[in-house]
Structure 1
Amino acid sequence: MGYTTHVRGEFAISPPLSWNEIKASPFAAIGHGRYGAVDIDLVLRVEEDSVDTAEGTLVRRAGTALVMREIDEYCARNLVEQVQGCLNLFPGHTFTGRLDCEGEENTDMWRVVIRDGRAVRVQPRIVWPDEDGAL
């Protein structure tokens, strides 16, 4: 058993990814992929839409978000690199949102955000309020 980090949140994808982009991606929810030397812990959320046609029902699939897989114990060692890897695979798409991360220790809080097309780890600043202006 190792150190565990809980990750919440997602990155919405606009415009959504096409089925051809999804199925060729290591971030597809089919199996467990790799991006370079890194095991992938993120997956693309795929939404389906059924449309009746003259030939039968047509199912359209679109990748609408990048989210965490269901993982019991997660250490978040390569999370920023994985988000960046997904960004690199899909130029022309905008990713918005964030992943909020909280480790076992009460001071271990951080986020993964996207700034200027780059995945960035952001640490919070903890500030004590002034007590009547005296330090």
Structure 2
Amino acid sequence: MKPPKQSSGPPFGKENQDPEFEQELLKVERALVALKERYNQVQADKASQKELQQRLGRLRHSKLPNVKAELKQIQQQLEELELNLESQLFSWDSVKEPFWQAVRFGGLGVIIGWLLKSVAG
């Protein structure tokens, strides 16, 4: 039996791709890398947050004199972690499209409303 004939090159080689497709593919790859990095950062922040909360719980029951300063420092770190976790969930890129859709269709609705009012009124 003869092996199947191989083509001389990939069907989607560089010579067959248009530059626009290549740019979009690079954009998607960069977005995927950024998403992976953000996911890893969120996982690390959640682990740190859990560890700090456990430490905070242990220190609250402690009677040592320097506990207040450490409690304050841990609370501050927890607040920073919470801010980091929340701030990255809503970036401009994630709300840009819905925002402009709302502006576009909301504005269109207002214009249609004015037209209807002027015709009916």
Q: Identify whether the pair has TM-score above 0.5, normalized to the shorter chain.
A: no
The TM-score, its normalising length taken from structure 1, stands at: 0.21
The structure with the greater share of residues assigned to strand is 1
Q: Which has the larger radius of gyration?
A: 2
Larger relative contact order (Cα-Cα within 8 Å, sequence gap ≥ 6): 1
The structure with the greater share of residues assigned to helix is 2
